[in-house]
Amino acid sequence: MEGFKALGLSYKNAPIHVREQLAFNELEASQFLTKLKEVFNIDEALLVSTCNRTELYYTSETDVTKGLIGLISTFKSLTKDLLLQYLNGYDSQEAAKHLFRVSLGLESQVLGDIQISNQVKRAYQKSADLNLAGPHLHRLMHTIFFANKRVVQETRLQDGTASVASVAVDLIGGFIQKIESPRIALIGLGEIGQNVLENLNSDDASITLVNRTRSKAVKLAEGKDILVSDFENLDQVIASNDVIISAVSTKTPIISSSSLKSGVIHKLMIDLSVPRSMDDDLENVPGISLYNVDQLTEKTLKARKTREKAIPDAERIIVEELSSFNKWKTEMEVSPTIQKLKNALDQIRREELARHKKLSENEMELLEVVTKSMIQKVIKLPVLQLKAACKRGDAETLVGVLNDLFNLESAEIEKK
């Protein structure tokens, strides 16, 4: 896809503290894309920003990479040196292929991640709302969505539960089904904690976030029906919630049986911390179901192996659908030449008819029908040859020949 480019970073090459600084919330994404359109006169752009990646896809016939880095630097108050250290660029086919791989979960930290497809769809909707999705981006995105549908139907890339966070969420879902107005506390909002939060989709449960840095919890809860509590109130949070998920970075456990109030206890406690943040003595408390990272990881191994086996099939689908998109794009590129050829031949037809002024109205109507039919038959072969040339990848040569034979460029200028 000529002129299509990508610029961004992901968990593969940037640590979480860098990814956090470059992450865009909904409002920031809209503001940035609007600024991008104004400054660079870009008509097509897509901004995908998650806890694992921030990537900007755009269409530009000129190289605006330095300018974009400058805009990101100013918008996010980050140094250009920091951005240059981590940002990767993709051009043309590599950019389109990378977007396919990202959207289908092949580039995700959790192979075959279902969430990324929805995140890309939301990013595309934002681009459309801001009039930043032109014909090429529309077609590319719908081709990607079709490819994702094929991956779901034809492969096992999304089978099973392949992340610790998603296994934890599955456990939570089963546990709270039996509880009226369940309450969930998520303690620690690093990368793992944010992954759990992203996967929590329970409309029935009340969610409370706890983090050593309260401002981070407030930011993640912004615009959502989520509560925030101070880290100093940890014992109170543990006592008042049915599900406790801890993803806190700590050298020694901070949650033990002493954190629990006396009485009948019925709680699910999930420790995602390494080292562990929940004491082993919790296992001896009646009514407590305690899970640690190792136990959850065991549940993911089988799914990961199944998904890994599906990678070649998913990559084959990408090749097929990207080829389909490229075919459409090439045909779109030659369609102006086809239209110019039609216009040139029709101009000759009309000029010849205009010379025969003595013809009756009925005769003129008959000639209109006959000559238009002739033009349609004359142009049929060049159009078929152009489409065949598109498939062979040498349409540019035939476009040049037609331009020279019929002087199409000059004819178009004269017409204007």
Residue 352 to residue 307: CA distance in whole angstroms? 66
- For residue 8, list its beta bridge partners: 55, 88
Q: What are the tokens at 71?
A: 């805009």
Residue 201 to residue 413: CA distance in whole angstroms? 58
Is 390 annotated in the active site?
no
Those residues whose C-beta lies under 8 Å from the C-beta of residue 197, and which sit 6 or more positions away, are 186, 189, 207, 209, 220
DSSP string, 246-261: E----SS--B-GGGSP
Residue 352 to residue 382: CA distance in whole angstroms? 22
Q: At CA 233, angle to CA 228 and CA 237, rounded to 5?
A: 70
Residue 322 to residue 100: CA distance in whole angstroms? 8
- For residue 187, list its beta bridge partners: 210, 246
* 276 three-state secondary structure: coil
The single residue of 51, 56, 123, 245 carrying the catalytic annotation is 51
* 111-119 long-range contacts, CB within 8 A, separation 24+: 111/157, 111/162, 111/304, 111/307, 111/308, 111/311, 112/157, 112/158, 112/159, 112/162, 112/307, 112/310, 112/314, 113/162, 113/163, 114/158, 115/50, 115/198, 115/199, 116/50, 117/148, 119/48, 119/50
Catalytic (active-site) positions:
51
